[in-house]
Structure 1
């Protein structure tokens, strides 16, 4: 039925023309329930307000919803509402899609109830109990004395209570009053006893069947008695209901959760403000409407599925849901009942953000922000399990920085961290958005190249990585630092078919790049694995040897010019698990690479000092011992403490311990090591530069270092005295050493000609296979004891 047809209806026109009654025409206009027209009397009271605003302002949201829901069902509605402190009875008649409401003064409208006789028998009480809701008395009389004791009941009250006046005579009337209203009853009696005229009040009565009815009472004194006249009142019940609904509304509006309730057909019955915001429309546009039509985007989300599940099973559903409109996360609880499904939305976005943050922290490197080993492994598992990858190659680049440790040791860990961050940015700059750059640990990175065509593609990316890292310096504070990158490449499925295998083979290829001179790329091939396995086995053996004291020392004597043994050099050997003796050239590089050189070096120094202490007990002229110190030990910063501890433990005089230091390490890390060298010198330990002539020493640098001697490298000695260049170089070094006041030890002496030339040139100490080979600890001790030579026998023994 159209609006024009309704307004042309004679009956509607007659009602709207009324100047004595309050009528109004309601209907949904632009999807909102609005007041369309009102009678003359009504318009005078309403002023200029109109539309949905009028209904809400005059009757409240609860009545607005009741009207809207009833009209959607094309049904009428009757109820009470308080307007301007006055109770009104509202009645709405449905007229097609429209409704006509009429306001009545509630005090002038009473419920009519047919007269009934008193109820005395159990059968009558049973009948009464079954139909009590239909037999609420319109009015009752209660006669009490001044103490409140019952004297007489009206028949209508007897019927309601189910008891006669005779049965209740002299009973305290407060026993008939609902327990929470007893105070109001007694106040009413007190007021009427102590003032003239009548007094009004309200309280509820309860019968033997526990039915409770509100009555409005007028009390007056009749002689010494008090007569109470009661009129039943539904208004109080509706007021209680409205107050209850108002409390619920206040709770729902004040809570942080969004909420709406829908009937079993999906029509919105109630929602709070946050619920309206979630659905994206105002409350008037949603009430009484199909929620999935008003918010169609929700129908495509899990929300629709779970709400329907709750409806079908009539069991509560709890689930997490992300609103596609604003990406907010909610914990949703849907509670079905016979008529409604109540849906609560608790905002858990902050919890989700924290979970996301924790997941990010668990799967990403905190320094560079790159994925970590866990994230890389998970991603590779997904990629390798993807059928699409089978048609392509997946490349993996294992990257290790060259020279990073030196930056950490010389500039500090903060600058080292800055370098890693800068490197990570350069790595990301040379790959595609679909590629993954991850940091494994320390200075190790991995790049995953999914969906590449061939090995050459991966190799070319490796070259880009090398160029990006090494060709331009990194600016760290005021310094410009150059580092390189060694890159190993492995391919899926050619080189490995699982994650661990792929990482292992790329790591092997990277190690080969290191061995090939660093700052280059190597692609994995099968024979690399055997080479690395040998290295791994040796590294494990070295761990075990240090732990179980299988690092042995051999000693090679040094002689002075007259042929006497003046010192020995301690040389480390490793005894394998199978008893094989492994030379230092095989295990020392691994010890330095892994850091095992630190504990091993302390063990070697302690053994050498103890051996010398025991050996010197039988010597008239004590000899000294020289121990090689790795650059790693020197840069570790703990060498001085180690030396001091060992000397104290073995009680060896410091002057009898000589530390042989690598020339290259000294020259490249002058400022870093100078402080420690001075401390060692102050302890009384002798310092010498090993393999002198192979590094980058200068006179200025040597002058600053607190060293007492240099060891002439065997490469100078081997061609003496026949090669002119070697003669000139060796004599130049000797002249320089003499000018600086440094002693010279010639190593690698193999022949008598070499020995004689060096002694003649001014060398004070000699060492080499031509004089004595390295020997075990016991053999060398016996050799020293037996061969402490006097100057008279020197020529004979050395001949």
Structure 2
């Protein structure tokens, strides 16, 4: 390997020096050739790079151009879609405007119409070409409408605000039709906020106005009789007071209440009741003349107003005419119905200076007429008002009296005709802190009207039963406790069961309890009351008929009702005089009742003469001031003790 290396090295080869120059020249040429090739390659690469760069640039430009083209296409598509939407929106707008039931229009600053909808043409009866370019004066003949429209148009142009007005129109479409338009005008602005015209609408509000009128009519007029209602009546009354005050005349207020109208509704039906109200309204209207008013205030109550009355004769004559309207029966659905009315009258300025006072005072007079027996007329006076306010006070205080334990029982002794103590009648008293000690006559009627008598009656029953039990147990006696029962108590369901439970709970022997009923308890519902009384009597409770002869009862009731005792009213006893023929009637009643095996007791005995008469007439029992006044519970012991001493 070394020899080969030496051999290959030219410097070590003597023969190589001769060809060295030639080899060098060849090498130089070779290098040039190589360099040229390198340059050629470089030039070629440079061209390739340039072409590549151009391709990249072109590609990028093409891509950008393509994206721009796509964006342009998208934008063109969006613009096209927007134009379609705008065209659709405009078409919809035109359709809505043309199909609108409102009149829609626009006009320039001179008032010439520039656009109108189909409804405009329908309302005016003019074709489109005869309206455009014309003003309101050219197409409208109503001077009132032209004036209102022109005034509103001028204000819109001047102020730049919305202006509106309501217009009443009339049309002849076979028949005359009245309607109303709500006209609204608004300014039309350009892009610089300058007014370039006016746009407007006419909306038909006829139905709205009609509904408002109906509501107003319902507010001021009664739906049954179509007479003025309470609101309108009070307005007219207030106005009449002011007018009468200026002219020094009188105003008369009349409140008329139909008697027993609730009963008519309940028995014949509300439809008949409504017809009666309409017929009554018609008759009342015929009574009045001129500016006077008839009003239906509520269900069974009418109000009448007489204005500018100068002479009292006018009032009297009118009241006579009013009274006569009920003389003739009302013929309704085959029924002949007779009505009466309770009437109250107040006069301005004598009975009040405000409509509230006058209306209340007339109503007070009417209530007095009703409580005095109905079918009456009463003029208001201030004593009447005092009594009425007292009644209202009693009603208010009654509601708390039970809870405050303000009621007490007084006991009046009852004796046999021979003088033996029979028992007691329990009589309620009201010891009111505000009004003092009140008798039953002062508050029981009010308690019955309000229904409070039911609770009061239960308290009386329980308290009296307990008092009787205590006395009988203490003295080993067999005394009877008698107490009054209101007709309203009989109408309560299971009344007899309640009484029987109360007796059993106290331990009192049922035969020691005596319940007093009045004729009014069974006049209208005989069968029901008879059934309740029989249930009580079967259990041993005694039944007494109170105030016999003062009402409608007859002797036939005595045969049918389960009655143990008949109580002769004190009005008969007070008439007892040995020279009075009425004594024969009292004596006959006692004799006849005794034959029916019914005992008798006379109340209100105050003199020896009366007692002697009752002894001769064979009356069984007596009570009254001659024997003793009603006493508080703590005095019962003294009464019973003295009675026992007398019997020894």
Over aligned residue pairs, what C-alpha RMSD do you find? Answer: 4.2
* Equivalent residue, structure 1, for 2:294: 437
1:272 to 110, 113, 117: 117
Shift, 1:443, TM fit: 3.1
Shift, 1:557, TM fit: 1.9
Give CA-to-partner distance per residue, 1:192-233, whole Å, 9 cap, x none: xxxxxxxxxxx79xxxxxxx9xxxxxxxxxxxxxxxxxxxxx
Change (3 A) 1:727 1:520: closer
Change (3 A) 1:474 1:686: farther
* Equivalent residue, structure 1, for 2:360: 504
* Equivalent residue, structure 2, for 1:786: 641
Shift, 1:388, TM fit: 9.2
Secondary structure at 2:550's aligned position in 1? coil
1:462 to 310, 319, 334: 319
* Equivalent residue, structure 2, for 1:426: 283
* Equivalent residue, structure 2, for 1:548: 404
Q: Distance in 2 between matches of 1:382 and 1:529?
A: 25
* Equivalent residue, structure 2, for 1:447: 304
Q: Distance in 2 between matches of 1:590 and 1:627?
A: 19
Gaps (5+ residues) in structure 2?
Answer: 1-57, 172-176, 189-194
Shift, 1:366, TM fit: 5.2
Secondary structure at 2:253's aligned position in 1? strand
* Equivalent residue, structure 2, for 1:250: 95
C-alpha contact 1:569 1:627 (8 A) present in aligned 2: yes
Secondary structure at 2:572's aligned position in 1? helix
The aligned runs of 1:300-699 (5 Å cut-off) are 306=152, 308-317=154-163, 323=169, 326-329=177-180, 333-337=184-188, 338-365=195-222, 368-384=225-241, 390=247, 392-404=249-261, 407=264, 419-432=276-289, 434-469=291-326, 471-475=327-331, 480-514=336-370, 518-525=374-381, 528-546=384-402, 548-578=404-434, 580-592=436-448, 596-631=452-487, 637-638=491-492, 640-642=493-495, 644-645=497-498, 647-649=500-502, 651-652=505-506, 655-663=511-519, 666-667=522-523, 669=524, 672-684=525-537, 685-699=541-555
Change (3 A) 1:348 1:554: farther
C-alpha contact 2:106 2:197 (8 A) present in aligned 1: yes
Shift, 1:397, TM fit: 0.8
* Equivalent residue, structure 1, for 2:597: 741
Shift, 1:643, TM fit: 5.4
The aligned runs of 1:188-203 (5 Å cut-off) are none
Q: Distance in 2 between matches of 1:257 and 1:785?
A: 96
Q: Distance in 1 between matches of 2:271 and 2:515?
A: 32
Shift, 1:581, TM fit: 1.6
* Equivalent residue, structure 1, for 2:48: none
Gaps (5+ residues) in structure 1?
Answer: 1-149, 151-164, 184-202, 205-211, 213-236
Shift, 1:182, TM fit: 7.1
Q: Distance in 1 between matches of 2:241 and 2:137?
A: 42
* Equivalent residue, structure 2, for 1:110: none
Q: Distance in 2 between matches of 1:515 and 1:785?
A: 41
Shift, 1:733, TM fit: 1.0
Shift, 1:500, TM fit: 0.7
Secondary structure at 1:618's aligned position in 2? helix
Secondary structure at 1:769's aligned position in 2? coil
* TM-score (ref. length: structure 1): 0.62
* Equivalent residue, structure 2, for 1:33: none
> Looking at CA atoms only, which structure, 1 or 2, has the larger radius of gyration?
2
C-alpha contact 1:253 1:273 (8 A) present in aligned 2: yes
Q: Distance in 1 between matches of 2:459 and 2:299?
A: 27
* Equivalent residue, structure 2, for 1:288: 133
Shift, 1:714, TM fit: 1.9
Higher RCO structure (Cα 8 Å, ≥6 apart) = 2
Give CA-to-partner distance per residue, 1:639-677, whole Å, 9 cap, x none: x5455445535635655443333335644x2xx343134
Q: Distance in 2 between matches of 1:293 and 1:642?
A: 87
Change (3 A) 1:330 1:721: same
1:758 aligns with 2:603: no
Give CA-to-partner distance per residue, 1:210-265, whole Å, 9 cap, x none: xx9xxxxxxxxxxxxxxxxxxxxxxxx9x999876543221112234332333333
Shift, 1:729, TM fit: 0.7
Give CA-to-partner distance per residue, 1:458-477, whole Å, 9 cap, x none: 343233222213x1234566
Q: Which has the larger strand fraction?
A: 1
C-alpha contact 1:490 1:502 (8 A) present in aligned 2: yes
Equivalent pairs, count = 572
Q: Distance in 2 between matches of 1:180 and 1:619?
A: 121
C-alpha contact 1:259 1:345 (8 A) present in aligned 2: yes
Shift, 1:488, TM fit: 2.1
Q: Distance in 2 between matches of 1:256 and 1:614?
A: 89
Q: Distance in 1 between matches of 2:329 and 2:454?
A: 31
Secondary structure at 2:619's aligned position in 1? coil
Give CA-to-partner distance per residue, 1:17-61, whole Å, 9 cap, x none: xxxxxxxxxxxxxxxxxxxxxxxxxxxxxxxxxxxxxxxxxxxxx
* Equivalent residue, structure 2, for 1:40: none
Give CA-to-partner distance per residue, 1:290-342, whole Å, 9 cap, x none: 22553343527866655554443322346766556544455554332133333
Shift, 1:749, TM fit: 1.9
Q: Distance in 1 between matches of 2:272 and 2:530?
A: 25
C-alpha contact 1:310 1:316 (8 A) present in aligned 2: yes
Give CA-to-partner distance per residue, 1:664-710, whole Å, 9 cap, x none: 5644x2xx343134224313354332221222322334434343332
